[in-house]
């Protein structure tokens, strides 16, 4: 009888790193996690420390897994990782970071460079070749920002990596990136040829500075002796190309067919919808999916779960830290749908899809002296759900059909949040038994890479646990229209603050 085989998945999130060891049937054997911070050195900037927050966390959680698990680490047959993305990190010839990693769309430092590239190339040409309009999510403008504002670092840059490719290099010595992540390097990725290209701009950076393109479940190398010493993992274990955390989250809950959509409840909301054909719309992001022949439309809010932490920190200091979110939800449940007339714009870090406005600001509208903390907290939750509805409406307008909506992420523990989202979007949501998230999806991708499983086996690994049914409410519909009109009416003022 063949002995049990195991795979390891590691995910680096915005505020936490998670690792999971899984057997070939999808049973979780061991887990580990470690918190870290997002650095905001200047308004509109968002950074991580690559060696401490990415590689350091990776080593800590894998050492924890191998030391606490009863499984012999030699039985781990593959490792896959994911991380926040797309990020921009210049490294030298040895793969050492030359600065902090510039994070995904929450970092808005390159707005001038976005405008410059749009003017130089033309928005229509960029969208046609890259499948994406230039937004704060795009890596290309951040490379231009590097060239203009950190010329010495730019001069000494051997490769531009993202978070996942930095980890893969640390593990294997290889410089690679998956196609799904690379599509966010607009205007340097040609979606038609699925390759790097300087057709739109020859002055941004040399193509040899970009990593080799691979598919997410490709084995791209093996753990080196040096990496084995740091991680506690045996030398020689196969490592996949990896991907962005949201894509691994989608894999973890069974997003696999056209019409499948994931809603990831975390520090931000992120949504992925699979399609048969490429959807071209500047309000959404596009990328080839993790496997050849599939396409994905993506959307994301700039702040979501982050706002619940902000609210707790500033307005719930009287509550016990361990139980505060539950207590706030209880207070919110004393309110009513529509939050007693409060409408909340969640644009505390600008906004990503569908408005792509780094100057957007948060707003609590309709306050009265009789309002309670519970009303405001419920308004915050509804505001995030209104932003999610705005994305869903955009999907519909782009003929992206949602046949199955899967909820995943830490926010699924917040019953008020996920039920409110169903009520406001009008969509039922499927919640799987395991909500570990991206690291679990990584473990499945690792198993897929070495032939232990087939794509359809995720349903066996992670069966459906329950379905949240949407409940329509006239007041929520009314407030959603106010939500959209509030932004339109105040966006010119937001730019002045």
d(CA 337, CA 369): 19
Of 163, 157, 57, 33, nearest to 102 (Cα)? 163
Q: Give the pLDDT confidence score for residue 268 in this predicted structure.
A: 87
Provide the 10 A C-beta neighbour count for residue 34: 17
Residue identified by tokens 């350091």 is 56
Peptide bond into 477 cis (omega under 30): no
Give the integer Cα–Cα distance in Å for 278 and 294. 9
342 with 376: CB under 8 angstroms? yes
How far from 78 is each of 22, 86, 225, 438, 493, CA to CA, in Å? 11, 24, 16, 16, 52
Beta strands in 389-473 (DSSP E): 404-408, 429-432, 464-468
Could you tell me if 245 and 184 are in contact, meaning their C-beta atoms sit under 8 angstroms apart?
no
**Model's pTM, two decimal places?**
0.85
pLDDT of the chain, 497 residues: tens digit per residue: 568 999 999 999 999 999 999 999 999 999 999 999 999 999 999 999 999 999 999 999 999 999 999 999 999 999 999 999 899 999 999 999 999 999 998 899 999 999 999 999 999 999 999 999 999 999 999 999 999 999 999 999 999 999 999 999 999 999 999 999 999 999 999 999 999 999 999 989 999 999 999 999 999 999 999 999 999 999 999 999 999 998 999 999 999 989 999 998 988 899 999 998 889 899 998 999 999 989 999 999 999 999 999 999 999 999 999 999 999 999 999 999 999 999 999 999 999 999 999 899 999 999 999 999 999 999 999 999 999 999 999 999 998 888 999 999 889 999 999 999 999 999 999 999 998 889 999 999 999 999 999 988 999 999 999 999 999 999 999 999 999 999 999 999 999 99
Q: Which residue(s) pair with 404 in the sheet?
A: 260
H/E stretch holding 23: strand 16-23
Q: Which domains does the chain have, with CATH numbers?
A: 6-241 (3.30.420.40), 254-497 (3.30.420.40)
Give me 210's structure tokens: 């970009």
Residues paired with 377 in a beta bridge: none
Cβ-Cβ contacts under 8 Å for 366 (sequence gap 6 or more): 341, 342, 343
Which residues lie below 8 Å from residue 473, measured CB to CB, with a gap of 6+? 337, 338, 423
The CA-atom distances, in angstroms, between 217 and each of 47, 233, 243, 244 are 27, 20, 9, 12
CA distances to 347, 434, 480 from 419, in Å: 21, 18, 16
β-bridge mates for residue 275, sequence order: 295
What whole-number distance in Å separates Cα of residue 384 and Cα of residue 363? 12
pLDDT at 2: 67
**Taking the CB of residue 42, how many other CB atoms lie within 10 A of it?**
9
255 three-state secondary structure = coil
Supply the pLDDT for residue 80: 98
Q: Torsion over CA of 404, 409, 413 and 416, rounded to 10 degrees?
A: -60
Which residues, including other chains, have CB under 8 Å from residue 124's CB and lie 6 or more apart? Answer: none
């Amino acid at each position: 009888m063949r002995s049990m085989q195991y795979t390891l998945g590691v995910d680096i999130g915005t505020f936490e790193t998670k690792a999971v060891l899984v057997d070939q049937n999808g049973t979780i054997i061991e887990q580990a996690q470690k918190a870290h911070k997002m650095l905001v050195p200047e308004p509109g900037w968002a950074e991580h420390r690559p060696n401490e927050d990415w590689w350091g966390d990776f080593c800590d959680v894998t050492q924890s897994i191998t030391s606490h698990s009863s499984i012999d680490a030699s039985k781990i047959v593959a490792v896959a990782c994911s991380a926040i993305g797309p990020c921009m990190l210049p490294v030298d010839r040895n793969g050492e970071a030359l600065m902090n990693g510039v994070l995904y769309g929450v970092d808005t430092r390159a707005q001038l460079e976005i405008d410059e590239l749009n003017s130089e190339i033309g928005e229509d040409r960029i969208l046609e070749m890259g499948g994406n309009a230039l937004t704060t999510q795009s890596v290309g403008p951040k490379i231009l920002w590097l060239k203009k504002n950190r010329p010495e670092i730019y001069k000494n840059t051997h490769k531009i990596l993202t978070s996942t490719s930095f980890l893969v290099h640390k593990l294997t010595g290889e410089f690679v990136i998956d196609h799904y992540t690379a599509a966010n390097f607009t205007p340097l990725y040609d979606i038609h040829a699925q390759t790097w290209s300087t057709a739109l701009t020859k002055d941004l950076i040399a193509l040899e500075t970009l990593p080799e393109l691979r598919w997410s479940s490709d084995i791209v190398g093996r753990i080196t002796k040096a990496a084995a010493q740091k991680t506690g993992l045996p030398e020689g274990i196969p490592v996949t190309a990896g991907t962005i955390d949201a894509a691994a989250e989608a894999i973890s809950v069974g997003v696999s067919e056209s019409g499948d959509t994931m809603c990831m409840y975390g520090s931000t909301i992120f949504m992925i919808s699979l399609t048969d054909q490429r959807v071209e719309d500047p309000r959404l992001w596009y990328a080839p999916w993790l496997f050849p022949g599939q396409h994905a439309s993506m959307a994301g809010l700039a702040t979501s779960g982050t706002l619940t932490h902000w609210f707790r920190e500033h307005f719930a200091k009287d509550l016990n830290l361990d139980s505060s979110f539950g207590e706030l939800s209880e207070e919110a449940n004393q309110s009513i749908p529509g939050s007693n007339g409060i409408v909340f714009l969640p644009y505390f870090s600008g906004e990503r899809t569908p408005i792509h406005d780094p100057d957007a600001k948060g707003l609590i509208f309709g306050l009265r002296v009789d309002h309670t903390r519970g009303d405001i907290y419920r308004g915050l939750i509804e505001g995030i759900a209104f932003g999610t509805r705005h994305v869903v409406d955009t999907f519909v307008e782009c003929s992206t059909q949602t046949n199955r909506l899967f909820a995943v992420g830490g926010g699924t523990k917040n019953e008020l949040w996920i039920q409110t989202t169903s009520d406001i979007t009008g969509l039922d949501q499927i919640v799987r038994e395991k909500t570990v998230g991206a690291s679990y999806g990584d473990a499945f991708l690792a198993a897929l890479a070495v032939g232990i499983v087939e794509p359809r086996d995720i349903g066996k690994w992670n069966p459906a646990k329950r379905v949240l049914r949407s409940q329509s409410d006239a007041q929520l519909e009314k407030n959603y229209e106010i939500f959209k009109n509030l932004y339109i009416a105040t966006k010119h003022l937001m730019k002045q603050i």
